[in-house]
């Protein structure tokens, strides 16, 4: 008999299961196993092996399950907190952007009106306006730089 036929039969034995091999293949396999002792032996051995595989017990201990559940709950809380914080930061950023846009336009109109009434040339009121706009950002930058320098002095040089 052809070696390929035995190979095919053994493969079908290994994959045996109604969902995996067709009725025609099952019928062919049954006929082949009737006539081939070697493949029949392989089929019997495979059946025994599968039975042993299913009999091998590996169970998770109760402590593993409870520890995992606890860790998952803690992590879920952390993620929840992080998400809430992110949400608050997003809301604050949106509010700050909105307020800045509104106040900038109001201040621009106000200063333009003052410039018109006092007959000042535009650069005279435009420059203070620009300074006023950029000042908070510049101040925050200076403060952060100072804090960074202070922390670097206290903790020593940055190391990987």
Binding residues for another protein (CB under 8 A): 10-11, 14-15, 19-20, 42, 45-46, 48-50, 52-60, 64-65, 67-69, 71-73, 75-76, 79-80
Question: Which of residues 27 and 78 has its CB atom nearest to another protein in the complex?
Answer: 78
In angstroms, what is the minimal distance from the CB of 155 to another protein? 29
Q: Return the number of the residue (76 or 96) whose C-beta is nearest another protein.
A: 76
Nearer to another protein, 1 or 14 (CB): 14
CA pair distance 92, 59, nearest whole angstrom: 50
Give Cα 4 distance to the centre of its chain: 48
Q: Residue 22 or 68: which CB sits closer to another protein?
A: 68
What is the nearest approach in angstroms of another protein to the Cβ of residue 81? 12
Q: Which two tokens stand for residue 59?
A: 């169970």
Calpha distance 109→86 (Å, rounded): 35
- How is 85-111 classified by DSSP, letter by letter? HHHHHHHHHHHHHHHHHHHHHHHHHHH
User: Shortest approach of another protein to residue 113 CB, angstroms?
Assistant: 52
125-154 in b/e burial notation, b at 16+ Cβ within 10 A? beeebeeeeeeeeeeeeeeeeeeeeeeeee
Least distance (Å) between residue 71 CB and another protein:
6
């Amino acid at each position: 008999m052809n070696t390929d036929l035995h190979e095919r039969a053994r493969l079908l034995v290994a994959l045996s299961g109604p969902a995996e091999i067709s009725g025609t293949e099952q019928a062919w396999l049954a006929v082949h196993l009737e006539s081939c002792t070697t493949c029949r032996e392989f089929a019997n051995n495979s059946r025994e092996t599968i039975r042993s595989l299913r009999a091998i017990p590996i169970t998770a201990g109760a402590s593993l399950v409870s520890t995992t559940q606890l860790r998952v709950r803690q992590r879920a809380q952390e993620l929840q907190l992080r998400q809430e914080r992110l949400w608050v930061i997003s809301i604050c950023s949106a509010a700050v952007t909105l307020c800045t846009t509104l106040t900038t336009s109001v201040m621009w109109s106000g200063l333009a009106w003052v410039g018109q009434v006092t007959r000042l040339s535009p650069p005279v009121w435009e420059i203070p306006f620009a300074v006023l706009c950029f000042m908070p950002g510049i101040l925050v930058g200076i403060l952060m730089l100072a804090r960074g320098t202070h922390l670097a002095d206290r903790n020593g040089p940055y190391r990987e």
